[in-house]
Amino acid sequence: MNRQGGDRLYFAAIDEAKLVVLAGELARTAPHEGVVTLQGTLGAGKTTLVRAFLRALGHAGAVRSPTYTLIEPYELGGRQIFHFDLYRLACAEELDEMGVRDYFGPDRLAFIEWPERGAGVLPDPDIEISLSYAGGEDCAARDVVLQALSMAGREWLARLLSSDNAQVIAPVSQACVQDMGGESGACP
Ligand SMILES: Nc1ncnc2c1ncn2[C@@H]1O[C@H](COP(=O)(O)OP(=O)(O)OP(=O)(O)O)[C@@H](O)[C@H]1O
Ligand SMILES: [Mg+2]
């Protein structure tokens, strides 16, 4: 297995169980504040990852996709966690009207699905997570790329990389990424 240090981590063709392990390790190594954006088409697994992250921090209740509410707040592990789904956002200015800037800062962690809809209003992310269909018959495999975009994000990935559980899901080296299918096959 190759390990990829630095700004990027890749997980090739992982199933949902492994994605849940990855989300759990992200939770275990998470900083107290930060912004994570989630890229990927409909059904790629963005909400599934956030749900597993919240469960790993002890959230026992339902985790609904905030498709209509746009934001769901949680209080876990001494911090507030905000789960955004901006798919139905009419325009970025709507976020300003919602006072969205209060959702970022000390002891606040944000996960944002469809962040491009809030461009210009949202802060820069610490980590961008990209999920794509890896191809294959059952459409259950995802390629996942974690890209650190700040010092805090790089430190988070370093903690993740040094965790034993992350090694179980086997991050691969950058050289292998060219061979990853990405949005291929008959999957949606
Ligand atoms: N490897 C996998 N990782 C994540 N989800 C998977 C995987 N394999 C199958 N799934 C299934 O794919 C679906 C992903 O749905 P999810 O709501 O998480 O997508 P999403 O990216 O949030 O979509 P949307 O843009 O509509 O909000 C779930 O039904 C999940 O069970
Ligand atoms: Mg979603």
Is 4 near ligand 1, meaning CB less than 6 Å away?
no
Q: Which atom of ligand 1 is nearest to the CA of 142?
A: 1
Q: What is the pLDDT of residues 131-158, one digit of tens each?
A: 999 987 778 999 999 999 999 999 999 9
pLDDT of 171 over the 70 cut: no
Q: What is the pLDDT of residue 172?
A: 65
Is 44 near ligand 1, meaning CB less than 6 Å away?
yes
Quickly state the pLDDT bin for 77 (edges 50, 70, 90): confident
Q: What is the pLDDT of residue 101?
A: 86
Q: What is the pLDDT of residue 13?
A: 87
Q: Secondary structure of the chain in the HEC alphabet? A: CCCCCCCEEEEEEECHHHHHHHHHHHHHCCCCCEEEEEECCCCCCHHHHHHHHHHHCCCCCCCCCCCCCCEEEEEECCEEEEEEECCCCCCHHHHHHCCHHHHCCCCEEEEEECHHHHCCCCCCCCEEEEEEECCCCCCCCEEEEEEECCHHHHHHHHHHHCCHHHHHCCEECHHHHCCCCCCCCCCC
Domains of the chain as residue ranges with CATH: 8-177 (3.40.50.300)
Q: What is the pLDDT of residue 3?
A: 43
In this prediction, residues 83-93 reach a mean pLDDT of 93
Tokens 């990405």 correspond to what residue?
182
Q: What is the pLDDT of residue 138?
A: 75
Quickly state the pLDDT bin for 38 (edges 50, 70, 90): very high
Ligand closest to CA 130: 1
Q: What is the pLDDT of residue 129?
A: 98
Is 117 near ligand 1, meaning CB less than 6 Å away?
no
Is 140 near ligand 1, meaning CB less than 6 Å away?
yes
Q: What is the pLDDT of residue 187?
A: 66
Q: What is the pLDDT of residue 175?
A: 45
Q: Quote the CA–CA distance of 175 and 3 in Å, as a whole number.
A: 11
Give the Å distance between the CA of 116 and the centre of ligand 1: 19
